[in-house]
Structure 1
Amino acid sequence: MGQAPIVDQPADGAPNDLMTGDSYLESLRDGRQVFVDGEFVKDVTTHPAFANAARSIAHLYDALHHPDTKDLMTTVDRYTGYRVHRFFTPAHSPEELLKARDAIEHWARLGYGFMNRTPDYNASFMAGLAVTHDFYEPFGDNARAWYEKYARQGLSISHAIVNPPADRTKSSHEIRDVHLKVVEERVDGIVVEGAKLMATASALANVAFVGQSHLSDPDAGKADDMALAFMAPLNTPGMKVVCRTSYESKATSPFDNPLSSRFDENDAVLVFDKVFIPWESVLIHRDTEKIHQCFPRSGLLSRGFFQGAIRRSVKLQFMAGILDRGTRIYGTDGFRDVQAGLGELLAWRHQTWAVTSAMALDPEYGPGGTVLPRMDYAAGYRALAPLSWERTHRFFEEHLAGALLMTPSSGKDLQNPELRPLLDRYYRGTGATAEERTKLFKLAWDAIGTEFGARHELYDLNSADRPDQVRLDTLNWSRDAGLLDTYGDLVQKAMDDYDLDGWTRGRWAQEN
């Protein structure tokens, strides 16, 4: 696999085109067609369904320029000579992977682990274009150009790679009115029609990567017009972002909904109503074989799970802190079962962080001299990760129980002069005032009990694919890598130590 030309790295003063928080927000005012509650959203940066989430992402971009975090977050890109986010460019050593981990972690901590599709998520795929562009021939130049534009500016890229489940009993070519496909080819590009999901955070992204996660069709050749991958700026004419309900717009106040009021990455469906895509934005066209090879070859899988594990580790830290404080205020922190639950939650966090270390320090070799987080470790994390959030829910429900519900209806009750003395008396906790107790338990409820919390539970269970498919993928990857053969060889070695007559070798045989 070829690689982009390497540019001499200047010792200092590297050009910096990375967006700031302000320029990021300005980039969203581009005429995109976003719809929520039947309304066309003229400006996502001011609309109550998206404004605070947009500001939360702008906060991430500010960290790329702040004197205290600039060196933590950025490096000089060997391919362009520009300053870039450390994860937006391929890593060439375990040390570079660890530094990328630090950058990912810092962004995750700014959202307390509750923003899943921050701009570094799709760096898992986009950074690979620097060294895998030959794979996309005859569109290799497009891949390289998009890498350079993406990395230099630090663009926010969403992705939509799943077909709508209109009728799972039928093949792709049998539901052409739903699945994305080419409907016209022109000298200057293609026209596409159809829908794609789950385009999480697309309303707040600059560009959507549109591809195929699965394209299985028993009738060879009949779905070739669906074998597509391309880049589409969010203001592409005819592309509509149809959003689910906004949890941010339903949040009543920061006190009552401190997470959902600012970290709601709206999930959406992208609808392409005869949308023109210029050839310069196409990566794969009518190539089913490349579609099947794209994600394994791109680095998306192992790098994506690496980013996800780092974010989840931060999220588990945050939840362990809430559970510890909550049980103290509830007065149950000394109970044996409560301590055991908190201990297991900490174990999930420590194990998750340890996996990120293993993925970075024991990597696999990638194209063009790069390294990738080790895939078998990534597959193991992917299969077990949903259990950590399932157990976290269980601990909160068991060990905080009714305390999660015994809160005033809103912070306004604490501001009511008639109610406040009563709340101060009856709603206080162990070593905590009524206001302190209410504030913590509303934070906990927003994390697990609100619509926002329920969405996170659903996301963490299914974001990496159906749970059974995740386990099957782990089996298939292990088999393809020869790991099962190696494990079987160990079994055979043990069986060769003995037969019907006794021990056959080693000290056991000598002592017979």
Structure 2
Amino acid sequence: LPIPTLMVVDQDDAGITISGMKMLATSAAFCNDIWIGNLLPLAPDQVKQAVTCAIPCNVRGLTMWMRQPISLNAENQFDSPLTWNMDETDVLVMCDNVKVPWEKVFVMDDAILAREIYIKTPGHCYGNHQANVRFWSKMELITGLCSKVTKATGADQVPAVRETLGRIAALESTLSGMVHGQIEAAESWPEGYMTCNRRMMYAALNWCTENHSAIVDLLRELCGGGVFQMPASITVMHDKKLREDFEAYFQTPQMEAPDRMKLFKLAWDVVGSEFAGRQQQYEKFYAGASFIIRNHSFREAPWEHFDGVVDNLMSGYDIPEPKGARVAAE
């Protein structure tokens, strides 16, 4: 069987030829070109895999293997508001002797440089700063949903519920502070340029991947069984008798039936739908497995400073004299 890893299989005066597969090209089906590279470290002898290049999506030999779009299951935007227009297609890219001209080749035959173009430049920092901001926007949505759901059920004044709302508000503010900190403590790096603070950015990245499931669970707990109480589809509003029953029995003192359903359908697309399941997996792994994300923080941490704090404290005391030695000397 062939080795599936994408690599350079040939080269000539016109450029290189690549074969193999790469994952994961999110939204590649909507792109003009695909960037191929190596964010993960390569072994020094993986020179043929150490290629960074760009290829057009209609190049001969390229095929894109896409999972089934989740949005196909959405009947309308009201019942599936996020699924309807926010599903990102995930694509596995397969190259079968794809020709790449030299002007589209950026790194080749250098396993170290293939990764360092991201971490020795601001590229990885800016890309993941944007990811932090994206997650923060998502946090604002979830925080707002927590508030709206409890108001819709009349539970917003219950002390235990207010405690949970306070917790989600604190979590949102924590991430807000980390995002602002990356800007306020920006680094003069590389020389002559300013970059978001890398340590704070990677710390926020780790925080997001660690906490997403727990954050969604807070909304899940506040929703309770409310997400299961709604009709299968808002098309009940198209039938006179069903509409009358729906508006009469699904309303509450706090909210009319269609508005309740609209709110809980949105909440369900965050906590329980197929779209929500994809988001759960995506938020854990889009930046890599946990050990990869934490290794970024390990790499950027000022370990000499931390060691120095310990050494400075320990330098202030020494082995004590034996008890009674001072008295005997006198």
TM-score, normalization: structure 1? 0.60
Aligned-pair CA distance for 1:176: 5.0
* Preserved contact between residue 37 and residue 51 of structure 2 (Cα < 8 Å): yes
SS of aligned partner of 1:367: coil
Question: Counterpart of 1:194 in 2: which secondary structure?
Answer: strand
Deviation at 1:501, TM superposition (A): 4.5
User: Which amino acid in structure 1 is aligned with residue 312 of structure 2?
Assistant: K
2:317 aligned with 1:494: no
2:264 aligned to 441, 444, 447, which one? 441
Contact 1:181–1:194, Cα closer than 8 Å, also in 2: yes
Which residue is 1:303 aligned to? 126
Aligned partner of 1:322 in structure 2 is 145
Kindly indicate whether the alpha-carbon contact (under 8 Å) linking 1:258 and 1:446 is maintained by their aligned counterparts in 2: yes
In the alignment, is residue 459 of structure 1 matched against residue 285 of structure 2?
no
Q: Give the aligned partner of residue 207 of structure 2.
A: 384
Alignment partner, residue 184 of structure 2: 361
1:55-454 aligned at under 5 Å gives the runs: 176-217=2-43, 221=45, 223-367=46-190, 369-454=192-277
- Greater fraction helix: 2
Give structure 2 stretches of 5+ with no counterpart: 322-330
Deviations 1:228-267 (A, max 9, x none): 0001122222211211110112111011011111111101
**Aligned equivalents of 1:314 and 1:248: distance in 2?**
22
Structure 2 counterpart of 1:283, one-letter code: F
Flag the structure with larger Rg: 2
Cα distance change of structure 1 residues 472 and 184 upon mapping to structure 2, 3 Å threshold: closer
TM-score (norm 2): 0.92
Rounded to whole Å, the distance in 2 between the matches of 1:183 and 1:364 is 40
SS at 1:400 equivalent:
helix
Counterpart Cα distance in 1 of 2:253 and 2:118: 52
What code does the residue aligned with 2:68 have? T
1:337-385 deviation digits (Å, cap 9, x = unpaired): 2212222222222221222221112112233621111111011111111
Question: What do the CA deviations read for 1:120-155 (whole angstroms, capped 9, x no partner)?
Answer: xxxxxxxxxxxxxxxxxxxxxxxxxxxxxxxxxxxx
Aligned residues: 321
Q: Note the aligned Cα RMSD (angstroms).
A: 1.8
Q: Matched residues in 1 for 2:319 and 2:8: separation? A: 66
Q: What's the secondary structure of 1:242's corresponding residue?
A: strand
Match of 2:326 in 1: none
Runs of 4+ that moved beyond 6 A = none
Aligned residues of 2:217 and 2:271 also touching (Cα < 8 A): no
| Structure 1 residue 499: Cα displacement | 4.1
Cα distance in 2 for partners of 1:364, 1:465 equals 25
Percent identical pairs in the alignment equals 23
- The answer (yes or no) to whether the contact 2:5–2:20 under 8 Å persists in 1 is yes
Q: Distance in 2 between matches of 1:499 and 1:338?
A: 53
Q: Are the structure 2 counterparts of residues 296 and 415 from structure 1 closer, same or farther at C-alpha, using a change threshold of 3 Å?
A: same
Distance 1:498 1:235 in 2: 70
